[in-house]
A and B are shown apart, each in its own frame.
Chain A
Amino acid sequence: MNGVLVENLVVRYGELTAVDHVSFSAPVGEVTVVLGPNGAGKTSTIEVCEGFRTADSGHVSVLGLDPVTGHNQLTERMGVMLQGGGVYPSARVRDVIAHFCALHDRGMNADDLVARVGLDHRAGATWRRLSGGEQQRVSLALALAARPDVAFLDEPTSGVDVDGRDIIRGIVRQLAADGCTVVLASHELAEAEKIADNVVMFMKGRVASTGPLGTLLRQRSTIRFSSIDGLDTVDLSAHLGHGVNPRGNGAYEIDVASTPHIISMLSGWLAEKSLPLNGLDAGTESLEDAYRRITGGLS
Chain B
Amino acid sequence: MKRVTTQLRSEIMLVLRNGEQLLLTLIIPVLLLTFFSLVDVLPSGSQESPDFLLPGVVALAIMSTAMVSLGIATGFERSYMVLKRLGATPLRRGELVTAKMLSVFAIELLQLVILVPLGLLLGWHGGDTAVLLVIPAVLLGTSAFTGIGLTLAGTLRGEINLAAQNGLYLLLLLLGGMVIPMSSLPAPLRSAAELLPSAALADVLRDCLTGVGNRVGLSWVVLAVWAMVAPAVAARRFRWS
Q: Tell whether A pairs with B.
A: yes
| Chain A positions near chain B (C-beta within 8 angstroms) | 47, 50, 52, 72, 75-76, 78-80, 82, 84-91, 95, 99-100, 102-105, 142, 145-146
Say whether A72 contacts B80, CB under 8 Å. no
Say whether B17 contacts A90, CB under 8 Å. yes
* B200-241 CB contacts (< 8 Å) to partner A: 240-241
In the complex, how many residues of chain B place their beta carbon closer than 8 angstroms to a beta carbon of chain A? 25
| The one of A52, A79, A99 that contacts B10, using a Cβ cutoff of 8 Å | A99
Say whether A72 contacts B77, CB under 8 Å. no
| The one of B80, B87, B89 that contacts A89, using a Cβ cutoff of 8 Å | B80
Say whether A72 contacts B90, CB under 8 Å. yes
Answer whether A50 and B88 are a contact pair too, CB < 8 Å, given A102-B2, A102-B6, A103-B3. yes
How far apart are B181's CB and chain A's nearest CB, in angstroms?
Answer: 41
How far apart are B24's CB and chain A's nearest CB, in angstroms?
Answer: 16
Pick 21 A–B contacts, CB within 8 A, sort by A: A47-B241, A50-B88, A52-B240, A75-B90, A76-B90, A80-B85, A80-B88, A82-B85, A86-B80, A86-B81, A87-B82, A87-B85, A88-B14, A88-B80, A88-B82, A90-B17, A95-B10, A103-B7, A103-B89, A103-B91, A146-B89
B residues in contact with A99, CB < 8 Å:
6-7, 9-10
How far apart are A158's CB and chain B's nearest CB, in angstroms?
Answer: 15
Say whether B80 contacts A78, CB under 8 Å. no
Say whether A75 contacts B88, CB under 8 Å. yes
Q: Which 7 A-B pairs have the closest CB atoms?
A: A86-B85, A80-B88, A85-B81, A102-B6, A86-B81, A103-B89, A75-B90
**What mask results when residues 164 to 198 of chain B are scored 1 for a CB within 8 Å of chain A, else 0?**
00000000000000000000000000000000000
How far apart are A150's CB and chain B's nearest CB, in angstroms?
Answer: 11
State A99–B17 Cα separation when bound (angstroms): 15
Main DSSP-derived SS at the B contact region: helix
A residues in contact with B17, CB < 8 Å:
90-91
State A88–B10 Cα separation when bound (angstroms): 11
Answer whether A78 and B88 are a contact pair too, CB < 8 Å, given A85-B80, A95-B10. yes
| The one of B14, B84, B91, B241 that contacts A90, using a Cβ cutoff of 8 Å | B14
Tell me the nearest residue of chain A to B87, going by C-beta: A52
How far apart are B112's CB and chain A's nearest CB, in angstroms?
Answer: 26
How far apart are A175's CB and chain B's nearest CB, in angstroms?
Answer: 16
State A88–B73 Cα separation when bound (angstroms): 10
State A88–B91 Cα separation when bound (angstroms): 17
Q: Indicate if B13 sits at the interface (CB-CB under 8 A).
A: yes
| The one of A79, A85, A95, A103 that contacts B90, using a Cβ cutoff of 8 Å | A103
Say whether B84 contacts A52, CB under 8 Å. yes
A residues in contact with B14, CB < 8 Å:
88, 90-91
A residues in contact with B240, CB < 8 Å:
52
